[in-house]
Amino acid sequence: MRDLYARLGLGFGADESALRRAIAATSDRELARRAQAVLLDADRRPAHDAVYLVARRLRDWRVELLLEDAAWATALADSDLVRPDLPAVPLASTSGTALAPRSSWWRRLLGR
């Protein structure tokens, strides 16, 4: 999923006036067309934002479960849906700390 907000230089959930300014300012016609068709459409934007949030949460869980610690993770890190606070290289775990992210993920999942 492409992060239209980030590609326009905006944060998630930007208001309509900021979206219109960013769309007008971008030189990428295809980005402008997609952003206008999705983010400025009152029926499509809520669905886009809901799917976007699910995709972000799934990526966060993959990181916490150490599923990003592989050779293909570098390519994934270059995708549009990367959190800016995460490293762009695969996450390396040291011995003894590999279970900590998993246990925190389970605690949040179970509400503990």
Tell me the range of 7-16, 54-63, 91-100 where mean pLDDT is highest: 7-16
Maximum separation of any 2 CA atoms in the chain, in Å: 51
pLDDT at 93 > cutoff 50:
no
Q: Are 18 and 10 in contact (CB under 8 A)?
A: yes
Confidence of residue 26 (pLDDT cuts 50, 70, 90): very high
Determine the angle formed by the axes of helices 99-110 and 44-64, rounding to 10 degrees: 140
d(CA 102, CA 63): 10
Q: Looking up tokens 């916490």, which residue turns up?
A: 64
Confidence of residue 92 (pLDDT cuts 50, 70, 90): very low
Reference 63, options 28, 43, 89; nearest CA is 89
Domain enclosing residue 94, as ranges: 4-110
Confidence of residue 61 (pLDDT cuts 50, 70, 90): confident
d(CA 66, CA 105): 11
- Is the model more confident about 70 or about 20? 20
pLDDT score at 87: 47
Per the structure, how many domains does the chain have?
A: 1
The total number of residues shown for the chain amounts to: 112
- Is the model more confident about 68 or about 57? 57
Q: Are 34 and 40 in contact (CB under 8 A)?
A: no
The fraction of the chain above a pLDDT of 70, given in percent, is 59
pLDDT at 58 > cutoff 90:
no
d(CA 5, CA 93): 31
Tell me the range of 10-14, 20-24, 30-34, 59-63 where mean pLDDT is highest: 20-24
